[in-house]
Amino acid sequence: MLKRFLLPMLLLLVIFAGCSNDANTVSSDTSTNEMLYETEQTMKSLTFREAVELSDCAIIGKYVAFSERDSYVEHTFTVKEVMRGDVYEKTVHLIEMKGTAYVEGTNYSYKTGEDIYNKGEEYILIMNVNDSLFYDYPLYVLVSNIYIPAKSIERGTINENRIPDDVLSVIENAKISKNSNKRNYIESNDIKTIVAETDIIMEVKIIEVEEGLFNGNVYYCEVINIIKGGIISTDKGKVLISLIKDSVEVGETYIVMVNAVSEDSFIYVQSSRKSIIEKGDIKMVNTIIDIAVND
């Protein structure tokens, strides 16, 4: 089983995997010092145009607050202008894991999770968004290591390189890339839709719970049966599943509908609010099995 101090990191890793749009990869290398977590990330080397095209949105935001957690930091901006994509919130919460990032194919690296912005100043932010079951508002991450003061665009950088002179034109004209990680069925009450969209359905027994981040906990589960999804990765027949807090009880058996964090991972994530079924709900269990078999 994973070391206990790593378990609260899982929901945060899920967020970054969900927001990445293939722009960055979060490694599993972590260390702890007085329960402060450090994470190493490998970032793809992108041009400014490539980073913009991978993004969900771009805004001009006024920096208002910085908050620090054990494993990540949160930068808060008020939205002054939406330059690209859809941003409906008046306030954007930009999160960043603590640690070090290494840019592929270069010798360049940089520290992450530091307070690099000046309060009251405006910045152009090129971001991806993840709106999940596990937190109360959408969380945003930068697509790449881009720093652009809105009032001094000529000072803008991507990694160690200056950004091009036609920044505003690139943002305005870049194609929109559909973020396949967005799951618009997470609030659905339609069991057929949930079963169809869910990657894996399995019967599990809850063995242990570990406090997670936001509105989720991490549960160590014994896999009893696979209903949908074929062969899955396990740790000696056990899996780690991120589920909404207090939605299950240790020692009980459930049918859970989940998505995998990655192809070779034994870490899974609840797919929708209606994705946990008590084993005793025979009618619903049979309905799920019938839909899964005939899907």
CA-nearest of 211, 205, 208 to 225 is 205
Q: What pLDDT, on a 0 to 100 scale, did the predictor assign at position 211?
A: 75
Residue stretches of the chain with pLDDT short of 70? 1-38, 177-184, 212-213, 231, 262-265
Q: What pLDDT, on a 0 to 100 scale, did the predictor assign at position 263?
A: 65
Domain with CATH 2.40.50.120 in the chain: 4-173, 191-294
Instruction: Give the torsion sign (CA, 172, 124, 164, 100).
Output: negative
Q: What pLDDT, on a 0 to 100 scale, did the predictor assign at position 175?
A: 78
Q: What pLDDT, on a 0 to 100 scale, did the predictor assign at position 184?
A: 61
- Distance CA(84)–CA(96), nearest Å, equals 21
Pairing type for strands 36-43 and 99-103 reads parallel
CATH class in words for 191-294: mainly beta
- Distance CA(23)–CA(143), nearest Å, equals 6
Question: What's the CATH number for 4-173?
Answer: 2.40.50.120
Q: What pLDDT, on a 0 to 100 scale, did the predictor assign at position 5?
A: 40
CB distance 122 to 67 below 8 Å: no
Over its C-alpha atoms, the chain yields an Rg (Å, rounded) of: 20
pTM (2 d.p.): 0.72
